Amino acid sequence: MAAPPRPDSIALLDRLVAALEAKGIVTEAEIAARQASTDKASPETGARMVAKAWTDPAYRALLLSDGKAAAEQMGVSMAGAPPLGVLENTPGRHHLVVCTLCSCYPRAVLGYPPNWYKSFAYRSRAVREPRQVLAEWGLNLPDSVEIRVVDSTADYRWMVLPMRPAGTEGWDEARLAALVTRDSLVGVAVPAAG
C-alpha cells in the first residue's frame, strides 16, 4: 500500500491546480470530473466493446481501425487519452499486452491496472518468455499459435479483441460480455463459454 501523501506534496499540488485554473487551462471541477470518470471505469466497459464487436461487423471494423472512436461510440470519454489500439486474436495468433517501463494501461476502457500487470516480474518475463507466463496463468496455447507481445506505452495503449468462444451463436451482447474478463482483454486468458 502506498504511503499517504506528504503535506508539502499536497501544498504543491494545490498551487499547481490554482495556477492552471488562473490561466484558464483547467478548473478544479474539470479535474474532479475526470477523476470520477477514471474511478468508475472498469473492465466491463472493454467487455461490452468486445461483445458488440462479436455481434456487429461494422462496430468490429471501427474497433480494429480506431479504438478511441469505438470507445467513444460506447459512451466512454477518451478526451486527453492516448490512442487506443485493438489487437485481434485469431486461431494462429494470440496477443499479450505488457508495459515494459511502468504500467501504461487503457484505464478509460479497463479501469485501473491490476497489481500483477505493474509488477517487474510480469513486465520482464512476458517479453522474454510469454508462452511460459501464459502457461502459469493456465493458458496453454499450441505451438502452432504465434504469441505476439505488444508494449503499451504513454503514447499508445493496447487492448485485445479475443476470439469469440464456440457455442455462443445467438447469444445477446450482455450474455457475451459476461464471458469477457480483464485478463482476456490483455491476453493472459481467453473467454470460455462454460
d(CA 82, CA 185): 17
104 is annotated as an active-site residue = yes
User: Is 103 labeled as catalytic in the residue annotation?
Assistant: yes
Q: What is the pLDDT of residues 27-57, one digit of tens each?
A: 989 888 878 877 788 999 999 999 999 999 9
Is 55 exposed, middle or buried (CB count within 10 Å of its CB: 0-12, 13-18, 19+)?
middle
> Of 37, 42, 77, 103, which residue is the catalytic one?
103
Choice among 9, 65, 102, 124 that is catalytic:
102
Mean pLDDT to the nearest integer, 155-184: 97
At 90-132, the pLDDT tens digits run: 999 999 999 998 889 999 999 999 999 999 999 999 999 999 9
In 23-102, beta strands by DSSP E: 84-88, 93-98
Which residue is catalytic, options 99, 119, 144, 152?
Answer: 99
- Rounded CA gap, 182 and 22, in Å? 40
Query: How confident is the prediction for the chain on average, in pLDDT?
Result: 93
The CA-atom distances, in angstroms, between 173 and each of 38, 75, 78 are 24, 16, 22
Q: Give pLDDT, residue 24.
A: 92
Instruction: Provide mean pLDDT across the span 60-73.
Output: 98
